[in-house]
Chain A
């Protein structure tokens, strides 16, 4: 609604849009480094990025989240987001180490994303990553036999957050006064247009 509280809550939208826009570019750079990604068709690369970018960004945002004051630091004291600013984004404090990277890859290579064509190939890429993640856990977390299963469960949680984000994005982008504050890249990646 148009309450004052609602307006002030969106006052950081331009900065948030910039942050997300920057993060999308990082996600694209990250995806390009994963063996196999660039061998996919351009259409599949685009479909995977459009559907998974927000999940990777949400995962990464946990690295700048402080449990001490329950806020995200996004470049200096002037750019702090408290939990209320971004209520739906926090997904619990992830331990950020290299297993997170494998995890991000696995989310990226989900063959059941909308618009994906070469399902078999993407599934094969994900299977390979699952094997690597399991091996990584065996070596670095010998006692963590349930860790892999828990992480797979978290992928499902990320999906729900992705859906929530899509809903919120849609309602935001229908309001011209808000959508004009987004960047062209954000509009393109989160827009509904499928490649």
Chain B
């Protein structure tokens, strides 16, 4: 699988607090 959608991955991973 390609590891694309980098921005989405970043926004999903980042801590929202």
Contacts and interface: CB of A to CB of B under 8 A. Distances in A.
Interface of A: 25, 28-29, 32, 42-43, 45-46, 49-50, 184-185, 188-189, 193, 195
Interface string B1-17: 11011111101100010
Nearest to B8: A46
A28 B4 contact: no
B16 A195 contact: no
Contacts of B5: 46, 50, 188, 193, 195
A193 B7 CA distance: 13
B8 A49 contact: yes
Interface of B: 1-2, 4-9, 11-12, 16
Contacts of B12: 28, 32, 42, 45-46, 49
A10 to B, nearest CB: 24
18 contacts: A25-B11, A29-B16, A32-B12, A32-B16, A42-B12, A43-B1, A45-B12, A46-B5, A46-B12, A50-B5, A50-B8, A185-B7, A185-B8, A185-B11, A188-B6, A193-B2, A193-B5, A195-B2
Nearest to A53: B8
A28 B8 CA distance: 8
A195 B7 CA distance: 12
Contacts of B7: 184-185, 188
A46 B5 CA distance: 8
Contacts of A184: 7
Contacts of B2: 193, 195
A45 B12 CA distance: 8
A50 B7 CA distance: 12
